[in-house]
Amino acid sequence: MSVAIVAPTRREAAACGEGTLVCGVGAAAEVSLAALLDRGQVEALVIAGVCGGLDPSLAPGTLILCRRALQRGAPELKPDQAQIETARRRLRSRGVPFVLSGLLTVERPIASRAQKTDLWNEFGAAGVDMETYPLARLAETHGVPWLAVRAVLDPAGAGLPAALRNVRDEVDERALAAALARSPRDWPAAARLALWLRRALAGLRQGVPVVAVVASSVRPLRGASAEESRLIVLE
Amino acid sequence: MGIPVQQALTIGTYVLKQRLKGRKRFPLVLMLEPLYRCNLACVGCGKIQHPEEILSTYLTPEQCWAAAEECGAPVVSIAGGEPLVHPQIDRIVHGLVARGKFVYLCTNGILLDRWLPRLRPSPRLTINVHLDGLRELHDRMVDRPGVFDKAVAGIREAKRRGFRVSTNTTVYAESSPEEIRQLFNFVTDELRVDGMMVSPGYDYPKAPNQNVFLKRPQMIQTFRQLFSFPDRRRWRFNQTPLFLDFLQGKRALQCAAWASPTRGVLGWQRPCYLIGESYVPTFKELLEETEWERYGYGRDARCTNCMMHCGYEMTAANAALESPLDGLRAGASTLFGRGVA
C-alpha cells in the first residue's frame, strides 16, 4: 500500500516521520502534490503539519483529526468516515490529545485573535491552515483517499508575531531571526511561539504515524496486515 | 446586583480549588430534572416528549439530595418538566438549601401562587421564572394565552414575600431584538427582579415547531442588535460578561458540557442537558467515561446551533479566572450587576 504523507515545511515533515514529503506552503503545495499524484503511485494520502488554533479549548500541540475540510465559498470535503473512526479510536487508545473537527484553509496566516474568533464563529473549524483543502480536493480528483491531521501551533487566544504574518513559503529561519532581532517588541511572542512549535512538532511525532497506519489500511496488500504495509518515501 | 456576593465568592473559591487540585473537569451546576411532566407544551421545547410511564415517574426528594451530594456542584438548577408540578418540590428545595446549595428553581410561574406560601425565602434560593417576551410573544411561544399574566403575578408575589427572583429568557427566531429590549426594560424597571438570564433556544429535534430556532450566525446578529441598545446599561444579568460577549460573537468559547451535569428520572444524562444520547447510573461514570472531546461546537453537528448558558457559562467563568481584565469585569458585574459594556 503506497501512502504519501505530505507536510508543508521540512521541519514539519521531519516531525511527521521518515519519508514524509515536503510539499511546500500554501499554493506551492498544490502544484507539488499534483505532480506526485499524476505519477499514479499514491494509493492514499495523509496531509499533516501545524495549524493555527480556532477552537479556544485547544492547547498548542493538540492534534486536529480532520473530519471536514473547509474553504470559503467551496463545498466541504469529507474523508472516509470509516477511516476517520478507526483513526479516532487508535489515537484515543494511545492517549494522544486530539479532537475530531474541521480544518479551514485560507490564503495567508491568520494573525489576530479577533480574526480567529470571526472564523471560529463562521466555520466552526478547530484549526486554520494554508494547504489542507486544495490538497484534499486534488486527492479526491485523483480518486485517492485522504486523511488530514494537524497540530495546533498558535492557540485561538494568541496572535502571531509581526514577522510571521505574511509567510507564504518555507520560513527562512535566518531571515526570520534577523527580522525578529530588529523588532524587540516581538521577542516575547516569538519566544512563546518557539515553545509552542516544540509542542506542535511533538504532537505530530505522536499522532501522524498512527494516522498513516490507518490510511495504509484502506486496501491492504494481500496477506499483509495494516501495520506491515509499507509507507513509501516520496521526496 | 446580578449574582449575590456570597454566591459569587463560593463559586469562585470552588472553581479555584478544583483548578488547584489539578482537575480538568468538574461540575459547577447540577441540572436537576425531578420530572419531565409539564403543564405547558412550548413550541420550542424538546424536553417533554416521553412516554406516559416516564412522564409519570418523579424523583423523590431523597434521590434529588443524593444526586446533589454525589455530584458536589455548588449550584443546583431545578428544571424539568415543570418543577412546581412535583408534589414534593418544597421538600426538595428545602433539603438542597439545607445542604448549602445555591438553588435556582426554574418555573413557568403558573403554579407559583400555590407554592410560594410553602417555600422559605433564602439568599440561597432564587425563583427563576421563564419569560420569553411580553404578553403576546410569550403566550405564543408557550402556546397558551394568559401564561404571561400568571407569571408576572407570580413574580410580583414572590418579590413581595422577599424571595430572590430572576427571569430566564430564551431567544427564538420570532423574538425581535426590540421585543426583547422591551421585555428586559419591563423586567428591570417594573418587576425589579434581582437578575436576568438569556440565551438562544437550542434546536431540539423533538420540538413541536422547528421553525422557531435561530442558526448560529443569526443568534450572534440578534444579540449584537440587542446589546447595542443604550438600555443595556440598566439590565442586570445573572451571567458573566464573557458569556454575554460570546453571545455577540466577540469571544470564542468552547462548550464545557461536563460543568452542568444533568440528573433526571432516567439517570445521569449523557452528554449534556440538551442531548440525551444515553443515561448512566452514577455521576462518576458520566464524568470519567464520557468521551467529552467528541462534543462541542465544530465537533458534533448537534452542537452547531447551541449557544446555551448550560454549556458555555463554565468556560466563561474559567476564562475570567485566567485573565485579570476579565476577572475584574466579572467582579464588577457581580457587585454592580452590569454585564454589558
Give the pLDDT mean for B49-68. Answer: 96
**How does pLDDT run across A40-75, given as a tens digit for each residue?**
889 999 999 999 999 999 999 999 999 999 999 999
Beta strand extents in B108-247 (DSSP E only):
125-130, 164-171, 195-200
Residue B337 binned pLDDT confidence (cut-offs 50, 70, 90): low
Instruction: Kindly state the cell numbers that stand for A186.
Output: 516581538
Q: Do B299 and A101 touch (CB under 8 A)?
A: yes
Q: Are A1 and A189 in contact (CB under 8 A)?
A: no
Q: What is the pLDDT of residue A232?
A: 39
Q: Is residue B195 part of a domain?
A: yes
CATH number at residue A172: 3.40.50.1580
Rounded mean pLDDT, B195-213? 91
The span from the CA of B250 to the CA of B216, in Å, is 13
Determine the Cα–Cα distance for residues B40 and B227; give it in Å rounded to an integer.
30
* Confidence category of residue B1, pLDDT binned at 50, 70, 90: low
Q: Which cell numbers hold the place of B309?
A: 448558558
Q: What are phi and psi of B98, to 5 degrees?
A: -65, -25
Of B136, B167, B137, B140, give the one whose Cα is nearest residue B151: B167
Between CA A146 and CA A211 the distance in angstroms is 10
The pTM (predicted TM-score) of the whole model is: 0.89
- In terms of pLDDT, which residue wins out, B328 or B67? B67
pLDDT of residue B152: 98
Quote the pLDDT of residue B303: 96
- Which of B249, B291, B298 comes nearest A55 by C-beta? B298
Q: What is the predicted pLDDT for the residue at A169?
A: 66
Residue of chain B whose alpha carbon sits nearest to that of A123:
B298
Query: Does the residue A229 lie in any domain?
Result: no
Kindly state whether residue B106 falls inside one of the protein's structural domains.
Answer: yes
Look at the block and give the residue holding cell 496477506.
A223
Q: Are strands A44-53 and A125-129 parallel, antiparallel or unpaired?
A: antiparallel
Output phi, psi for A164, to 5 deg: -105, 5
pLDDT over threshold 60, residue A229: no
Chain B nearest-CA distance from A185, in A, is 21
Confidence band of B333 (pLDDT split at 50, 70, 90): confident
Residue A171 has pLDDT above 60, yes or no: yes
The reply to whether omega before B271 is within 30° of 0 (cis) is yes
Is there a domain that residue A228 lies in?
Answer: no
Residue range A77-90: average pLDDT? 96
Query: Is the ipTM above a cut-off of 0.85?
Result: yes
Q: What is the pLDDT of residue A221?
A: 39
Residue A231 lies in a domain: no
Binary contact (B304, A156; C-beta < 8 A): no
Has residue B200 been placed in a domain? Answer: yes
Grid cell of A215 as nine digits: 490510511
With contacts defined as CB-CB under 8 Å, which chain B residues touch A54?
252, 298
Q: Which domain CATH number covers B292?
A: 3.20.20.70
Question: What is the enclosing helix (H) or strand (E) of A63?
Answer: strand A63-71
Give the model's pLDDT for residue B341: 56
Taking the CA of residue A100 and the nearest CA in chain B, the distance in Å comes to 6
* B249:A118 CB<8 A: yes
Dihedral (Cα; A195, A197, A201, A204), 10-degree rounding: 120
Per the CB < 8 A criterion, the answer to whether B261 and B71 are in contact is yes
- B253 contacts: CB under 8 Å, gap ≥ 6: A56, B242, B243, B246, B312, B315, B316, B319
Residue A215, pLDDT above cutoff 90: yes
Q: Is residue B311 part of a domain?
A: yes
Looking at residue B84, the DSSP 8-state letter turns out to be G
| Torsion of the alpha carbons at B93, B96, B98 and B103, rounded to the nearest 10 | -80
B249: chain A residues, CB-CB within 8 Å = 117-118, 121
Instruction: Grade residue A230 by pLDDT with cuts at 50, 70 and 90.
Output: very low
Mean pLDDT to the nearest integer, A20-27:
92
Residue-wise pLDDT tens digits, A93-140 = 999 999 999 999 999 889 899 999 999 999 999 999 999 999 999 999
Strands A146-152, B262-264: pairing kind: unpaired
What pLDDT, in 10s, does the model give residues B314-325? 898 888 877 778
CA–CA min distance A41, chain B (Å): 33
pLDDT for position A91: 96
Residue A148 forms contact with B (CB below 8 Å): no
Q: Are B269 and A173 in contact (CB under 8 A)?
A: no
How many structural domains does chain B have?
1
- The mean pLDDT of B226-245, rounded to a whole number, is 93
Q: Is residue A68 part of a domain?
A: yes
Contact B285, B71 (CB under 8 A): no
Chain B contacts in chain A segment 90-109 (CB below 8 A): 92, 98-102
How far off is chain A from B310, nearest CA to CA, in Å?
A: 17
Distances from the Cα of B239 to the Cα of B166, B168, B199, B316, angstroms: 11, 11, 10, 9
In a domain, B341, yes or no: no
- Rounded to a whole number of angstroms, the distance between the first and last alpha carbons of chain A is 17
Task: Write down the pLDDT at residue B282.
Answer: 98
Using a pLDDT cut of 70, give the percent of chain B over it. 97
Top mean-pLDDT range of A18-22, A182-186, B18-22, B176-180: B176-180
pLDDT tens digits, B140-150: 999 999 999 99
pLDDT value for A118:
96
Nearest CA among A55, A54, A61, A124 for reference residue A98: A61
- Pair B158, B149: CB distance under 8 Å: no
Give the number of domains in chain A.
1
For β-strands A125-129 and B29-32, DSSP reports them as unpaired
**pLDDT band at residue A148 under the 50/70/90 scheme:** very high
Full residue range of the structural domain in which residue B281 is found: 5-336
Pick from A108-117, B4-13, B331-340: least confident: B331-340
Partner-chain contact A117 B253, CB within 8 Å: no
Q: What is the maximal distance between C-alpha atoms in chain B?
A: 51
| Highest-scoring range by mean pLDDT, A215-219, B151-155, B309-313 | B151-155
| Four-CA torsion B185, B188, B193, B199, nearest 10 degrees | 50
Give chain A's mean pLDDT: 88
Contact B298 A122 (CB under 8 A): no
pLDDT at A178: 81
- Closest partner CB to A56 (pick from B220, B253, B304): B253
- Residues of chain B neighbouring A102 (CB-CB closer than 8 A): 298
Do A98 and B293 count as a contact with CB atoms less than 8 A apart? yes
Percent of chain A with pLDDT over 70: 89
Nearest to A56 among B220, B252, B294 (CB): B252
Neighbours of A150 (CB within 10 A): 32
Q: Which of B217, B254, B291 sits opposite A56 (nearest CB)?
A: B254
- Calpha distance B60→B58 (Å, rounded): 6
Q: Is residue B85 part of a domain?
A: yes
Q: Are B97 and B125 in contact (CB under 8 A)?
A: yes
Are the C-beta atoms of residues B168 and B77 closer than 8 Å to each other? no
pLDDT tens digit sequence for A7-20: 999 999 999 998 89
A145 touches chain B (CB under 8 A): no
Summarize chain A as % helix, strand, coil (round to 5). 40, 20, 40
pLDDT band at A1, cuts 50/70/90?
low
* Extended strands (E) in chain B: 29-32, 75-78, 102-107, 125-130, 164-171, 195-200, 262-264, 267-271, 276-280
Q: Which domain holds residue A65?
A: 3-216
Which of B254, B295, B306 would best serve as a mutation to test chain A binding (most A beta carbons within 10 A)?
A: B254
Q: How far apart are CA A64 and CA A51, in angstroms?
A: 9
pLDDT band for position A227 (50/70/90)? very low
- Convert the pLDDT of each residue in B59-98 to its tens digit: 999 999 999 999 999 999 999 899 999 999 999 999 999 9
| Lowest model confidence (mean pLDDT) among A32-36, B118-122, B260-264 | A32-36
Q: What is the reported pLDDT for A62? A: 98
Q: What residues of B are in contact with residue A104 (Cβ under 8 Å)?
A: none
> What pLDDT does residue B338 have?
57
